Amino acid sequence: MTFYTGFYMRMQPEATWIEKLAQGLGLIPDLTESVTEESEMLSPGPLNSYLPPEKWDDWEEYEATGWSRKKKKRYSIIPTSCFNCESGCGMLSYVDKETGKVRKFEGNPFHPGSRGRNCAKGPATINQIEDPERILYPLKRLGKRGEGKWERVSWESVLQDISGKIRLALEEGRNNEIAYHVGRPGHEGYMDRVLHAWDVDGHNSHTNICSAGARFGYAIWDGIDRTSPDFANADFILLISVHLESGHYFNPHAQRIIEGKNNGTKIAVMDIRLSNTASRADYWMATYPGTEAAVLLAMARIILKEKLYNEEFLRNWVNWQEWLEEEHPDSDLSLEVAVEKLIEHYSEFTPEFAENESGVSVQTIIEVARRIGRAGSRFANMNWRSASSGNLGGWQVARCLQFLSVLTGSIGTPGGTLPNTWNKFHPSLCSKPPAQKFWNELHFPNEYPLSHYELSYLLPHFLKENRGKMSVYFTRVFNPVWTYPDGFSWIEALRDEDKVGLHIALTPTWNETAYFADYVLPMGHSSERHDLISYETHVGMWVAYRQPVLREYARRQGQEPEFSYQVNPGEVWEEDEFWIELSWRIDPEGKLGVRDHFLSPYREGEKLTVGEYYRYIFERVPGLPERAAEENLTPLDFMRRYGAFEIKNEVYEIYRNPLTDEQLEGTEIDERSGTVLKQGIPV
Ligand code: SF4
């Protein structure tokens, strides 16, 4: 939070004799002086005031550490986005005009998700930038893998070596020997585009040891694997292993949960741990791990039995007819019968059964179920990780939780839980390569047909079984040696040069996996890189721009650096430009079709620049060109200046919008359910 660092001249108490002496000697200002022009200029404002954007180019404020000398500092204020979790909160970087370095970070009030607020990790980006142990230059291994010996090399030699190995693999049809294994992506659509351009099925993620369980539980309801709760407008909130202080989207979510709580929203937390959130909740259900689904089904049964469900929603928007026909073909096809049969179907899930399973009392289960039922369409909930990922069958937790949303008709409603796709922006890219023609069984093995996301934790075991090899293996913000359950298997695989030919670690900091790399390539922190960000932090849709702020500062000074590493600390680079340069070198003559996807959309036959990549996207963000024009800015310049743009807000119940003539073209209506279908798929 920012407040103007002016002094309360009129509110100063009578000066002490020491202060009077110091004033007399001119060591400190006259504390009794009346309001001066200066103190007027810097007069205190409310604590939630932010810097006026018209002053961002040249912001002046007193030094907090030099107040008695009235020392001033001048800054160029440049927005970017935090990269210390997935929320992508907006930050303002204070570039010190004296040193040309970033000095501190505060919240960006123009970011619709974070609204000017950050958690402690946002402003702490400055510690990452100034970390004395950070990697500042590209490093190449000397000696054996894992021996800890490195030499500094140039970016050009890195690009030549890696591109040569990828080119050879592509030319020899060994596309499945190239992989990019990611921890936290933090960008929209960038890497899929690169990997498709190379024609490799090379994306591997950490998701299967993380959110894949919950995602699967949601996806089998409506094909959408994440949710977006409208916490601020909810009447009742149920959080399952989601924490205000450490959970998913935690600053944007936390502020909206607290907003709801301040307006009377009641909160229940299901978690064996007495988290900070649980300690502030109205109900803490300390379920034994793995028993959450039993409690949720007991609640569903209570809602059904006590007729607390939303009949209109079930009748019109749920395919109960199909279920009845499948499970009870001899029954009448009516919603009433479907409800009766559902109660029978879940007869085992009594509150007593759930209490025995979970340790949560019958009374609490009944009370929370009734609260949920009465909240109706204003029931918001979230499950992320832990309960759904740490237990066998954990995916049922998200599935059963969504069942409560469906029963209460709180899908996509004010105060309910929305599909995340309503609140997440997908950019139009300057070139969209077709999906790859290869299927990589090292990532999606045939014997696991239901795997939702790559089975990444099996990779070292598959390599050990000689199911394949990695010729070029990138790890990016990804540290399996430390974070996966069997880190030693990863060490074993990474040490073996027959199994992993070239290992490149793209990382801003040292980690246990980078230690076993051939190249360790320093990538930028939040204020040192380009990325496009959009997440379902609330019932709106926004897009944000992460930008290398010293590059933007140079631009404001009339310079145009070619690459971000020229302005970042040392030679720290960023992935966006790295992938463009690498791809260009993989296909120097354009024979492999890779180059076609890295051509400028504005200069024929020329290499795409990172500025052009984002210019193309921002020119196509709905409403952004018009908003930028109001300030005589191009869309790209608007994003450079403000860092974020709200595309929509209050996106509710879009399934109730009438379909347009265009959407209705070529459709048919399923008589039994009333669903509008195009080629058999609901529109
Ligand atoms: S919530 Fe996440 S993105 Fe937001 S400031 Fe904290 S670490 Fe950064």
Same domain, 358 and 410: yes
104 and 41 part of one domain = yes
Of 495, 524, 553, the residue at which a domain comes to its end is: 524
User: Domain span at residue 518?
Assistant: 139-202+436-524
Six-digit token string for 133? 């142990």
Select from 507, 503, 523 the least CA-distant residue to 568: 523
Q: Whose CA is nearest to atom 2 of ligand 1?
A: 85
Dist. CA 511 → ligand 1 center (Å): 21
Same domain as 282, residue 237: yes
CA of 376 to the centre of ligand 1 (A): 31
User: Residue 218: inside a domain, yes or no?
Assistant: yes
C-alpha 495 – ligand 1 centre gap (Å): 35
Q: Residue 62: enclosing H or E segment and its boundaries?
A: strand 59-62
Average pLDDT of the segment spanning 93-116? 96
Same domain as 452, residue 401: no
Confidence (pLDDT) at 47: 58
Ligand 1: residue of 104, 250, 384, 525 to mutate (most ligand atoms within 8 A of CB) is: 250
Is residue 631 assigned to a domain? no
Do 322 and 382 belong together in one domain?
yes
Residues 223 and 347 in one domain: yes
Q: Is 456 in the pocket of ligand 1 (CB under 6 A)?
A: no
* Ligand 1 mutation pick, 245, 251, 384, max ligand atoms within 8 A of CB: 251
CA of 640 to the centre of ligand 1 (A): 20
Domain shared by 267 and 397, yes or no: yes
Q: How far away, in angstroms, is 221 Cα from ligand 1 center? A: 30
- Look at 43 and 525; give whichever has higher pLDDT: 525
- How many domains does the chain fold into? 3
Domain presence at residue 585 = no
Q: Is the CB of 251 under 6 A from ligand 1?
A: yes
Q: What is the mean pLDDT of residues 434-455?
A: 92
- Ligand 1 in reach of 89 Cβ (< 6 A): yes
Among 108, 129, 150, which residue terminates a domain? 129
Pocket test residue of 89, 92, 105, 250 for ligand 1, highest count of atoms within 8 A of CB = 89
Within 206-317, strands assigned E span 227-229, 236-240, 266-270, 283-285
- For residues 71 and 118, state if they share a domain: yes
Are the C-beta atoms of 617 and 532 separated by less than 8 Å? yes
Q: What's the gap in Å between 533 CA and the centre of ligand 1?
A: 13
- Best residue for ligand 1 mutational test, from 81, 83, 87, 105 (most atoms within 8 Å of Cβ): 87
Nearest residue (by CA) to ligand 1, atom 1, is 251
| CATH code of residue 169 | 3.40.50.740
660 domain-assigned: no
* Same domain as 184, residue 224: no
CATH of the domain at 101: 2.20.25.90
Does 587 fall in a domain? no
Output the residue whose Cα is nearest ligand 1's atom 7.
84
Pairwise CA distance, residues 254 & 537, whole Å: 10
The atom number, within ligand 1, closest to the CA of 84 reads 7
Give the nearest ligand 1 atom to 120 CA. Answer: 6
Q: Is the CB of 240 under 6 A from ligand 1?
A: no
Residue 239 backbone phi and psi in degrees, to 5: -115, 125
Atom number in ligand 1 closest to CA 85: 2
pLDDT in tens, 597-620: 999 999 999 999 999 999 999 999
The pLDDT value given to residue 647 = 98
The structure's pTM equals 0.90
Name which of 341, 333, 297, 296 is nearest 315 in CA terms: 333
CA-to-CA dists, residue 520 to 421, 505, 538, angstroms: 35, 5, 37
Q: Give the atom of ligand 1 at the shortest distance from the alpha carbon of 118.
A: 5
Q: Does 648 map to a domain?
A: no
Ligand 1 near 125 CB (within 6 A): no
- What CATH number does residue 415 fall under? 3.40.228.10
How far apart CA 481 and CA 502 sit, in angstroms, is: 17
Choose among 369, 366, 391, 392: nearest CA to 381. 369
Q: Are 343 and 298 in contact, with CB atoms under 8 Å apart? A: no
265 and 374 in a single domain? The answer is: yes
**Average per-residue pLDDT for the chain:** 92
> Is the shortest distance between the CB of 400 and ligand 1 below 6 Å?
no
Q: Can you give the pLDDT at residue 242?
A: 80
Q: Please identify, by atom number, the ligand 1 atom nearest to the C-alpha of residue 251.
A: 1
**Single residue among 508, 524, 540 that ends a domain in this structure:** 524
**Using 50, 70 and 90 to split pLDDT, how confident is the model at 386?**
confident
pLDDT tens digits for range 414-433:
999 999 999 999 999 999 99
Q: How far is CA 636 from the centre of its chain?
A: 22
3-state helix/strand/coil string of 438-501: CCCCCCCCCCCCCCCCCCHHHHHHHHHCCCCCEEEEEEECCCHHHHCCCHHHHHHHHHCCCCEE
CB-based contacts of 295: which residues, under 8 Å, 6+ apart? Answer: 270, 285, 287, 354, 357, 358, 360, 365
Q: Which atom of ligand 1 is nearest to the CA of 87?
A: 3
| 183-232 pLDDT, tens digit each | 888 888 899 999 999 999 999 999 988 889 999 999 999 999 999 999 99
Provide the greatest CA pair distance for the chain: 99
Ligand 1, atom 4: closest residue by C-alpha? 89
pLDDT tens-place string over residues 45-102: 555 678 999 999 999 999 888 777 888 999 999 999 999 998 999 999 999 999 999 9
Mutational pocket test of ligand 1: of 81, 93, 114, the residue with most ligand atoms within 8 Å of the beta carbon: 114
- Tokens representing 69 are 């000398």
Chain segment 333-365, per-residue pLDDT in tens: 999 999 999 999 999 999 999 999 999 999 999
Could you say which DSSP state residue 183 is in? S
118 lines ligand 1 (CB under 6 A): yes
Distance 120 CA to ligand 1 centre (A): 8
In a domain, 634, yes or no: no
Q: Are residues 218 and 190 in the same domain?
A: no
Question: Is 285 contained in some domain?
Answer: yes
CA distance 175 to 184: 24
In angstroms, the CA 30 to CA 218 distance is: 65
Q: In this structure, what are the phi and psi dihedrals at residue 339, rounded to the nearest 5 degrees? A: -65, -45
69 and 191 in a single domain? The answer is no
